[in-house]
Amino acid sequence: MLLAALYALVVLCLSLYGFHSLILALLYLYHRKRSAKHIQGCLPPNEADLPTVTVQVPIYNELYVVERVIDAVAALEYPRERLQIQILDDSTDATTALAYARAAFHSAQGIDIEVLRRPTRQGFKAGALAWGLAQARGEYIAIFDADFCPRPDFLLQTIPYFLTRPRLGVLQTRWSHLNAGYSLLTSAQALAIDGHFVVEQAGRNLAGLLTSFNGAGGVWRRRCIEESGGWQDDTLCEDLDLSYRAQLAGWECLYLPSVDVPAELPPQMAAFKLQQARWAQGSMQVLRKLGGDLLRNRRLKWPQKVMGLLHLSNYLPFPLVVLALMLSLPLLLVPESQRIPLDWLGLAFLGPLLVYSISQQQLYRRWWLRMLVFPLLVVIGIGLAWSNTRAVLQGLKGRRSTFARTPKFCLEAKGTHWTESPYALPFSSSITGEIALMLYGLAALWVARVTGEEGMLPILWLYVIAFGAVAELELAQTIASRAATHSPHAAPPRTPDGSVQRSEGVYAAR
């Protein structure tokens, strides 16, 4: 009975996060009619009233996208005398030469743009942003990662909100996608990101819950950064950390879904796993750091605190998934131990389906076609459980880790390739655990068939397929990358001698 109770507790905790998604979807549906009123007040000011803005682009070894992002931020429509652009370069390869050359080109056109290099890479992205802030002259700080391509009117669409809201500390816009159709993997990622930005972020913000800056595609009031303690490098999610500290200090956060910033999705499973693990570990670090402050804050109501804790702990379902699989085999071996009725908890798992379907309805005309990738997203989400579980445990332990960047390859069409790139990642260490969990699931399947526990078969098959698919895709991609790299016909790495092909017509294509 103890095993059954433990299994029931795990499933109950998993369902809690399912209900969390369901609540956010319902909050979005309830509040969306007043969304226009919530974000009103953005009247184009006179040019003389526009404040000084500093645009920061932190980069580290971005051969393929550095020129694209520099061209994009240089094309921002804003009074030149009130616009400063900082390329915060920590690179150790030829990216630096490319950045200097492209920045010099735009500087000759009268744009205040500069490549800034630190003596060390201390603090990683948080350290770079803090170092750049000390040299910034802007009252407002817009931040874009290297794979982002802001549209020319980004600042004109966002800065006016600050002028009518004195306590607005940070404004986050929606991420859109440069390469959603590149592969099934990028299509599944696009669906996940759409659900987060269209429904979850909007639902939180419209309902007055704590929300977050997502690291790029947003604007900060400089005074908010400084009064909230500045950028700190003790977590891997410096964006989540600062946005929560700012809101706990009484600053407002605004999510603006009407403005989107296209960005690139990682095409390699190993890179996607690396990104998700970094976010998982960083979120747990922020939970450790600010969870107590959140509960003790007197400005917040209890619903805000509870939903805030669920937000910060949003990666905890991954170790729960692994634990549920590990408990399944002992349950099957102990007769009658799995008889606690849990079927009603299945309602909780309608939450993610509702989140993603609503997001596609809001963004696309033929939304149902995009939902065809939802089963793949479910498979990938479960298959990432082992990699993210390790990251969650490291974050809960408070372990400090190196900030591992997600490689970008400038993939805006299906005809481009990444396998020959020196940025392609090797096998991740988590692949062994995924194969082991797949085999464990197969063993549980065999026992379920022998014991006649037919009700366990669907979830066990899902575990086997998920862990097997994630491991197989990473193996196949890594082997293909190694073969391409060692092929006598492989293209040479791109270098600043002119062999790097810049992406032209980025805006015309959208």
324 CB burial (10 A radius; 0-12, 13-18, 19+): buried
Q: Per the residue annotation, which of 71, 145, 239, 241 is the catalytic one?
A: 239
Give the up-direction half-sphere exposure of residue 192: CA atoms within 13 A in the CB hemisphere.
Answer: 16
**Cβ burial 446-478 (10 Å sphere, 16+ → b, else e):** ebbeeeebeebeebbebbbbbbbbbbbbbbebb
3-state secondary structure at position 388: helix
What is the C-alpha to C-alpha distance for residues 98 and 66, in angstroms, rounded to an integer? 7
CA-based nearest residue to 149, from 497, 440, 478, 507: 507
**Tokens representing residue 11 in the block:** 């499933």
The Cα–Cα gap between 239 and 227 comes to 15
> Residues 299-304: contacts with CB within 8 Å, 24+ apart?
299/248, 299/250, 300/210, 300/248, 303/209, 304/208, 304/209, 304/210
CB 338 within 8 A of CB 7: yes
Told to judge if 90 belongs to the known catalytic residues of this protein, a careful annotator would answer yes
Rounded alpha-carbon distances, angstroms, from residue 181 to 72, 422, 503? 22, 23, 18
Catalytically annotated residue among 89, 90, 147, 241: 90
Active site residue 112: no
DSSP-derived secondary structure letter, 49 = G
Phi, psi of 2 (to 5 degrees): -65, -40
Cα gap 181→264, rounded to integer Å: 11
Active site residues: 90, 239
